[in-house]
Structure 1
Amino acid sequence: MPVRRGETLTVDRSPDAPGTVVVTGISRPLGARVAARLAADPRIRRVVGVDAVEPGPELVALLGGVERVLADLGSASTIIADLHAEAVVHLAVLTAPDQQHGGRTAMKEQNVIGTMQLLAACQQAPRLRKLVIRSSTAAYGASFRDPAVFTEETEPREVPRGGFARDILDIEGYVRGFRRRRPEITATVLRFAPFVGSTIDTTLTRYFAQPVVPTVLGRDPRLQFVHVDDALEVLHRSVTEEHGGTYNVAGAGVLALSQAIRRAGRVAVPVLEPGLSAAAGFARSLSVGRYGFDQVDLFVHGRVVDTTRLINEYGFTPRSTAAAFDDFISGHAGGTVVRADQLAAAEQAILDGIRRVRAAVEERS
């Protein structure tokens, strides 16, 4: 049963017992699966999941071995102190505004302010030995000035347009400050490529699950993915092993967007970039989520990262981008059938976008 803020937590304070791990973000599949996996590890004495939102019934069933605390990140200092936590895994990072009531404002509050509050709590935790932070390859941004491959030392060539990417840069900046203040703590930042898999449901997987997939005319970006099971393995090892530093986490190799669409058995609809937002409106009508600048820039420029550091330090090689994407396809075979009226609406949205572009060009000339 969850323990609500203000209730007493009973803590086994035996110095010989394995450490306690706190996992944030357990109301979402990634956080719940990480917490459940850690709870099943006999080397870990206790796993406590923290979230301001109750997990859904399917995740509650998964969290049988995890103690749950219903509280926001602002209460982290009390929780971490009461639990004498030795490790914190921060996964309560939102990737899109529609994941939280309140839109972009609430998303930034959770990602940036929430992480800052959590790190302040960790700084005051005397028994803390490990901190694992979920980050993203979105930290590198996406622009025409990008290098062919990003390493962990590569700085973004320009400030990303997308809110999620900007949040990630702020989060990593706070972690750098934390490392200077608590250098004895092993702080691990994991920059994940977009997740795929047969069971995962994200904005990106919904994009590829559409029967008609909007693309940007004249662009065929190179993409990388990481299978969610490989992400779980890396997160688990980050807690049970010593791997301080920042790591790119992605599958080897790349898929061009056109290759991925063909591989998924979908139909690409090329549009001018300003028209992609109109096509995304069509996607929303199919209940496949919505796209922001983070996704649009990825579909225009792509992003490829080097994972040599991860492989060398962890002794673990994630499955390739192609293999991860194939597993996603296996779980989404068939897909949604496009009705005639939906296809007509998509064509009209694309034409409207092209007309707006032409009108803008004529005005400038």
Structure 2
Amino acid sequence: MTRVLVTHADEPIGRRVVKRLFHDPGVDAIFAVGDGPTPRSFDRYLAGEGPAVSYARVDLAKHRAASDLFHSTAFRSAEIDTIVHLPRHGTAPEAPAPLVAGLSERTAETRLVVQHALEANGVNQLVVLGSAFVYKLQPGNANRFTEESELDLDPSVPADVRSWIDADMIVHAELHNERLRVVLLRAPTVVAAGGYAYMNPALPVRAPRARALGFDPICAVISDKDVARALQAAVHARHSGIYNVAGREALPLSVLARWTGRRALPLPHPVLDWAAASARLLGVGAESVPFGGAALRYGFTLDTRRAERELDFRAADRIGLAREGDGSLRLETATSV
């Protein structure tokens, strides 16, 4: 039986993953960790029958807090053998403070989680949800990436994308570790019923949205429920590896922005570059200016055959619009028959 620690379990994808694992007969215990208070949806897990579920409030980007967690009595008593590390994807409870040595929160978290996974007695699996926006985009919408495709290592990439790449490389470095089995899933835009989109730098949760005038890149998408299914499959896989995971649909950025209820304002690309450069000079946070990276101009889809072959994972959900009782249209995800 597997005993799992799930990070950022208080955020939307995290809650979905905990729900999926709670109903997995192969999971014996779940130790959920998040920045905020215990989600209300966890009440039935904490009080009901099934796997033992516990929750701890921890800021994993801070060295002391992460160390205290992995050396705590609660962690030892949970006898965790698998760590599922999810990135922050919802709105932070407060603006993140500058980190030591200039590391982004995402990079700092990943480094600390990997470090403690390697050091913790009993932990033999690390499953990480990463981003497909780490790949180097070529002009046009014909980009189709395999797991061996080139990463975008250009030093001028936006900070948000750079943090994804740094986190990806930290995990990648442990792929052949003899003691720890490591699985990295690279996901595109994650969408959820009700018009929510996560993990797309061009569709930020808080910052103003924009798209490059004259461009409408294709966006690969996957539902939050399929992400949870993919992570569940990775937990039970036998081998280390990197896997692209994606749904069946791909949508233009303008359509995806409209479906998620916040249209992206078309702006000339030089204006986007000027806004980003000005923000850097003025020390303004990325959450205050529109994203200006290549993902605003060029699109991509993912080759997911490796995940189908080795993880036995295939996206089950279809993504589209549904009409509500009041006649309005909203993004919905539904499992196809």
TM range (shorter): 0.7 to 0.9
Q: 2:4 aligns with which of 21, 25, 28?
A: 21
8 A contact 1:104–1:163 mirrored in 2: no
Q: Deviations over 1:258-299 (max 9, x none)?
A: 5657888998864312456999xxxxxxxxx86643x75322
Partner of 1:119: 114
Distance 1:72 1:270 in 2: 36
Distance 2:180 2:262 in 1: 47
- CA separation of 1:269/1:306 partners in 2, compared to 1, >3 Å: closer, same or farther? same
Q: Shift of the alpha carbon at 1:243?
A: 4.7
Name the SS of the counterpart of 1:179 in structure 2: coil
Q: 1:152 aligns with which of 134, 139, 147?
A: 147
Distance 1:316 1:255 in 2: 22
Distance 1:205 1:176 in 2: 21
Partner of 1:310: 307
1:127-276 mapped onto 2 (5 Å cutoff) = 127-142=122-137, 144=139, 148-159=143-154, 161-180=157-176, 182-199=177-194, 201-202=196-197, 215-257=211-253, 260=256, 270-275=266-271
Amino acid at match of 2:307: L
Tell me the C-alpha RMSD between the 2 structures: 4.0
- CA separation of 1:141/1:134 partners in 2, compared to 1, >3 Å: closer, same or farther? same
Name the SS of the counterpart of 1:301 in structure 2: coil
Distance 1:313 1:113 in 2: 30
TM-score, length basis structure 2: 0.73
- CA separation of 1:171/1:23 partners in 2, compared to 1, >3 Å: closer, same or farther? same
Name the SS of the counterpart of 1:316 in structure 2: coil
8 A contact 1:215–1:270 mirrored in 2: yes
1:267-346 mapped onto 2 (5 Å cutoff) = 270-275=266-271, 292-293=290-291, 296-319=293-316, 323-326=318-321, 334=328
8 A contact 2:216–2:297 mirrored in 1: yes
Name the SS of the counterpart of 2:55 in structure 1: strand
Matched, 1:67 2:54: yes
More helix by share: 1
- CA separation of 1:157/1:39 partners in 2, compared to 1, >3 Å: closer, same or farther? closer
- CA separation of 1:105/1:199 partners in 2, compared to 1, >3 Å: closer, same or farther? farther
Partner of 2:36: 53
Q: What runs of 5+ residues in structure 2 fail to find an aligned partner?
A: 47-51, 61-65, 276-286, 331-337
Name the SS of the counterpart of 1:132 in structure 2: strand
Q: How many pairs does the alignment contain?
A: 301
More strand by share: 2
Distance 1:244 1:201 in 2: 31
- CA separation of 1:199/1:331 partners in 2, compared to 1, >3 Å: closer, same or farther? farther
Name the SS of the counterpart of 1:188 in structure 2: strand
- CA separation of 1:200/1:276 partners in 2, compared to 1, >3 Å: closer, same or farther? same
Distance 2:227 2:327 in 1: 23
Name the SS of the counterpart of 1:123 in structure 2: helix
Same amino acid, percent of matched pairs = 23
Higher gyration radius (CA): 1
8 A contact 1:94–1:111 mirrored in 2: yes
- CA separation of 1:66/1:274 partners in 2, compared to 1, >3 Å: closer, same or farther? farther
8 A contact 1:196–1:205 mirrored in 2: no
Name the SS of the counterpart of 1:225 in structure 2: strand
Q: What runs of 5+ residues in structure 1 fail to find an aligned partner?
A: 1-17, 280-288, 337-365
